[in-house]
Amino acid sequence: MFWSQPQQSEDTHDLMTSLIGSAVQVLRGDAGIFVVSNEAFDPQSSSEYILYRIDEAVLLPLLAHVQDGMQPNSAHPLLFEALPPDLISQLNIASEVVEQQGLEYGSLAVYDREGPLGVLYFLRAATTRSCLEQITADTQQSESRQDSKPKEQHKALYSFIAQLADGLRSAFRCLSLVKEQERLAAIFQNCTDGILTVDNALRIIDFNPAMERLTGWHKNEVLGRFYFKVLCPQDRYGNDLGLEDSAILQVFAGQQIIDREMIICARDGQRFNVAITASCVRSVRGELMNGILNVHDLTRERQQEEQRSTFISVISHELQTPISIIKGYASTLARKDAQFDPQVLQSRLMAIEEEVDRLNKLVGNLLYASRIQANGLQMDIASLDLEHLIESVLRRLKAKAPDVSTTLSIPEHLPIVMADRDRIEEVLQNLLDNAIKYSPRHPEISVSCYSTGEEVIVSIRDSGMGISVREQEQIFRRFQRVGDPLSQPTPGAGLGLYIARAIIEAHGGRIWVESTLREGSTFSFSLPREEKAQLPMVVF
Ligand code: ADP
C-alpha cells in the first residue's frame, strides 16, 4: 500500500478511450463519444463522457443534437439518424465519401444486468454498414419469416454490447478505485497526524510528511526498516516496550488499539509523548497484509495544559504575596492599642504602597498579555529620540535604586527612530528591572546604543546570574521563567519579556538575548530608523 504514490487516473482514462475507439471501429465509425448514463448529466464535466477523435470544440452542439434525437434502449439497442449539414460543416470532416454520401450518426445503448452504462454515439459515412448490422438486417428478415426469438437473432449485436459493457464496467471500477486512492493519498500527505504503514513483517513501507516532521526521520531513511527499531517506543512511564507490546502486532492478533499513550524517540534522540491508534488491512482471504499506525503528538496539548496550570499557580502565588504583606501591615496599623512612631508608620505605609504597585504592575501585565492575544496591540507611532528616553529612564532608576551602578554609552548623532514612546519606555523599564532582579550581587548595568544602515540597536548588559542556552529560547514565551516558576525566589509572572517581544515586533524590530550562566546577560532590541520604518500598527 503506497499512498504516497497513487496510480494515475489518466492511465485508466486512456484505457477507456481505446475501448471506445475499438467499439467505434467495429461499428465502422470514424469518431464517437460515449456518454455515461447519469441522471444529472453535466456536459462540462469530462468524467461524464469519453471522446474518440472528436474535437472538444464541437462537443456541445453535437451532444445537444444527438441527445435530442431518438434514444436507443435494450429493445432497440442500435439506431441511426442523418446528421444535418450545418453540424457536419462544424465537425470539419474533409472526406470525399462524406461529401458524396453524407454523414450519419448511430446510437448504441450499452447496458448489462446491473443496468444502463451509457450510450455510444458514433459518426460515419451514411452508406457504410458494419458486420453487426448485416447480421441484424438478415435476422430481422428471418425474424418476420420464421417468427424466431429476437434474442437469438440479434445474438452478435447483443454479445458485442455485453462485451463492451463488461470492459467499460471494469474500467469504471478501476477509475473509481484510482480516485479513491488519490483521495487517500491526499489525506495521507496532508494529515496533521503522523501515519506510517508497515508490511506483515513490520517493515516500514510508507511514512507521511507529518511523521517526518514529528520524528525528524526522512522517509527514505526509514523505508524497509523494522518500525519498532525506528520509534523505540516506551510506555507512558518511560519503560522500554518489548516486541510483544507492539501495537501493530496486537491489532494483527485482533486487539483494538485506540489512542494508546506512549513515548517515542525522534531521530535526534529526543523523546516525546504520543497517542497511537493502530489498524490492519487483510486480503480477501483474511491474510494480514499491512499494519497502519496513526501517531498523534501530545506535546503541544501537554504544553498548553501545563501552561494553563502554571498560569493559575503563578498568578495565585504572585497575588498572594503582596496581598498577605498588605494585609499584615494594614492589620498591624489598624490595632487600636498600638502606638507607632512616625518613622515606623512611614516605612509601613511605604511598604504597602510598594506592594500595591507590584499588584498593579501584575494586573497591568495580565491585561496587556490578553490584549496581545485577543485584539492586537495598537501603536501610537511618532519620531522618537532614543537618547533622551534612555537618559530619563536611567535617571528615574538611579533615584529609586541609588546603589545600582549604571553606565551609558551612546554615539553622537544617534539616528531618530519611529516608535511609540510609552511602549518603548515599558520595554526599557522591564529589561532594566530584570537586570536588577536577576543580579544577586551588587547590580552593574550598562546600556549602549549603536546604529546600522537600517536600524538602531539598544543593549542592556548585566553581570547577573545569566541564562543557559536552552532556556534562552524559552524566556520570551508567556509565563516562562527559568527553573521552577513557583520556587523562584525572585517575584515575577514570566510576562515581561513576552510583552517586550510583542511590542518590539509590532515596531518591525527584533529582540534577543546573549548570555553566559553565572556571568551575565545582554538583552538587545532593534528599532527601524525613521527613514526606513514600515510599521505594522497592530500585532496579533
Ligand atoms: P519575570 O521576570 O516576571 O519572571 P520576564 O518575562 O521578564 O518575567 O522574564 C522571564 C524569565 O527570564 C525570568 O523569570 C528569568 O528567569 C529570566 N530572565 C529575564 N531577565 C533576566 C536577566 N537579566 N538575567 C537572568 N535571567 C533573566
pLDDT at residue 2, as a whole number: 56
**Cell numbers that stand for 65 in this block:** 443534437
Confidence of residue 332 (pLDDT cuts 50, 70, 90): confident
Establish whether residue 427 lines the binding site of ligand 1, counting it when its CB lies within 6 angstroms of any ligand atom. Answer: no
For position 387, what pLDDT does the model report? 95
The Cα 425–Cα 430 span in angstroms is: 8
Highest average pLDDT, of 38-52, 95-109, 277-291, 469-483, comes from 277-291
CB-based contacts of 78-85 (< 8 A; 24+ apart in sequence): 78/106, 78/107, 78/108, 78/109, 78/132, 78/133, 78/136, 78/157, 79/106, 79/107, 80/104, 80/105, 80/106, 80/107, 81/105, 81/107, 82/126, 83/123
The rounded distance, in Å, linking the Cα atoms of 281 and 452 is 62
pLDDT for position 534? 63
Whether residue 527 has pLDDT greater than 90 = yes
In this predicted structure, the answer to whether residue 253 has a pLDDT above a threshold of 80 is yes
Cα–Cα nearest to 502, from 464, 531, 463, 536: 536
Q: What distance in Å separates the CA atoms of residue 410 and residue 458, rounded to the nearest whole number?
A: 9
CA 415–ligand 1 middle distance (angstroms): 29
Whole-prediction pTM = 0.52
SS3 at position 114: coil
Q: Determine the residue of 372, 445, 459, 475 to mutate for testing ligand 1's pocket, defined as the one with the most ligand atoms within 8 A of the Cβ atom.
A: 475
Q: Is the pLDDT of residue 206 over 80?
A: yes
For residue 436, pLDDT beyond 90? yes
Is the pLDDT confidence value at 153 over 60?
no
State in Å, rounded, how far the first CA of the chain is from the last one: 43
Average pLDDT, the chain: 85
Beta bridge partners of 81: 105
Å from CA of 511 to ligand 1 middle: 14
Q: How many CB atoms lie within 10 A of CB 22?
A: 13
Residue 169 and residue 34: Cα distance in Å, rounded? 13
Residue 493 Cβ < 6 Å to ligand 1: yes
C-alpha span between 133 and 111 (Å, rounded):
18
Residue linked to cell 532582579: 437
* Contacts of range 355-364, beta carbons closer than 8 Å, 24 or more positions apart: 355/322, 355/323, 355/325, 355/326, 356/322, 356/326, 358/322, 358/491, 359/319, 359/322, 359/323, 362/315, 362/318, 362/319, 362/493
Tell me the pLDDT tens digit for each residue of 438-474.
Answer: 988 888 999 999 999 889 999 999 999 998 887 887 8
By mean pLDDT, which of 238-247, 281-290, 365-374, 515-524 is the weakest? 365-374
- The whole-number average pLDDT for the span 120-126 is 90
- Residue 537 has a pLDDT of 47
Confidence of residue 366 (pLDDT cuts 50, 70, 90): confident
Whole-number Å distance, alpha carbon 382 to ligand 1 midpoint, is 29
Report the separation in Å between the CA atom of 335 and the middle of ligand 1, taken as the mean of its atom positions.
39
Task: Give the residue-averaged pLDDT of 153-174.
Answer: 88
pLDDT value, residue 4: 58
pLDDT band at 57 (very low <50, low <70, confident <90, very high): confident
Query: Residue 481 Cα, ligand 1 centroid: separation in angstroms?
Result: 6
Closest Cα to residue 83, out of 35, 27, 130, 126?
A: 126
